[in-house]
Copies of this chain bind each other. A is one copy, B any other.
Amino acid sequence: MIEDKNQPKTSLGNLGEFGLIEHLTKNFDIKHSTTVKGIGDDAAVLDFNKKVLISTDLLVEGIHFDLSYMPLKHLGYKAIMVNLSDIYAMNATASQVTVSIAVSNRFPLEALEELYEGIYLAAKIYNIDVIGGDTTSSNKGLLISVTAIGEAEEDKICYRNGAKVNDLLVVTGDIGAAYMGLQVLEREKQVFKANPNNQPDLDQYNYLIERQLKPEARKDIPKLLADLEVQPTSMIDISDGLSSEIMHLCKQSEVGCNLFEEKIPLDPQLISVCEEFNIDSTTIALSGGEDYELLFTISQDDYPKIKANPNLTVIGHMTNASEGMHLITRGNEKVELKAQGWNALKNNEGE
């Protein structure tokens, strides 16, 4: 869990920028016929018949990740997941990424190799071409900027603004685990600081920690929906917390929503750790973030097509905008939904 101080160290300064990119990406093969030219020129060249999707995200050390418990390989993997998730959230196929890093001299070459191992693994599993990027210095810490590129037929693309009154609200997988994984890791970091010889037993938190450190983007969902012949009316990925994402769909679609507390899918490990931490699991599900599940709406007519599927849970329905956005609690109370998602700008006390 804690950094190994005995790793081999090769100074980045000795390699130079061109040597570094070449070195880090030499094992990255091209998998898509849409990639005409990848790394190695002023720009990559792509060839699409369908519509092209582009999304980009920044991950900053000390803001989005803490290297004291985030292995670099997992970080590389997660950086790709975060971006692919945005493409899948358009009901599209992801095909390429560019990866840029800014890195301080405190990182040896071996650290970047580890980071790129994770990127390589993600690209392999998710069938993605790494087609370019930039590698430069930072004055402090590590920053990763990924741009993901995908494709879709025009009539398959799901925007955030297509939800209609009476549509069903559906979520994939389960929610809240990634956030509680982070809480467990933060607690263990404090324990480690107090007593570095303590070897924590984290087995009972395995699922939560994996959701935090090595999330998987829902590549399977656009394909599943196509197989089920379901075209969602709106879609978004859950990066900031369920509540905040529902509000995005409602506002952009100009509808309201009733979300049923008892329907929100929670993993048993999440429920037990919430009891241990004495936190309400619904609050975590609503505000936790980083689950990278998909949230979408479908016409009620499509309900029979999805009802038996273990990947998909109906958690509510859309209403008239004038009815507002509400959580219906287990006690049948109607509580107004509030966005309390993790806010990268407000939580930081940087320079």
Contacts and interface: CB of A to CB of B under 8 A. Distances in A.
Contacts of A132: 54-56
A177 interface: no
A58 B101 CA distance: 8
Q: Could you tell me the dominant secondary structure of chain A's interface residues?
A: mixed
Interface string A99-119: 011101110000000000000
A171 interface: no
Given A136-B345, A343-B17, A36 B55 contact: no
A350 B137 contact: yes
Interface string A149-174: 11000100101110000000000000
Contacts of A36: 51, 154
Interface residues of A, number: 79
A137 B43 contact: no
Interface centre among A96, A137, A154, by most chain B C-beta atoms within 10 angstroms, is A137
A21 to B, nearest CB: 11
A53 B58 contact: no
30 contacts: A13-B345, A15-B345, A17-B344, A36-B51, A41-B90, A42-B55, A42-B86, A42-B87, A42-B235, A43-B53, A43-B55, A43-B90, A43-B92, A43-B148, A45-B52, A54-B149, A56-B100, A56-B147, A57-B134, A58-B101, A60-B137, A63-B136, A64-B136, A100-B145, A102-B143, A104-B350, A105-B350, A106-B351, A137-B348, A140-B351
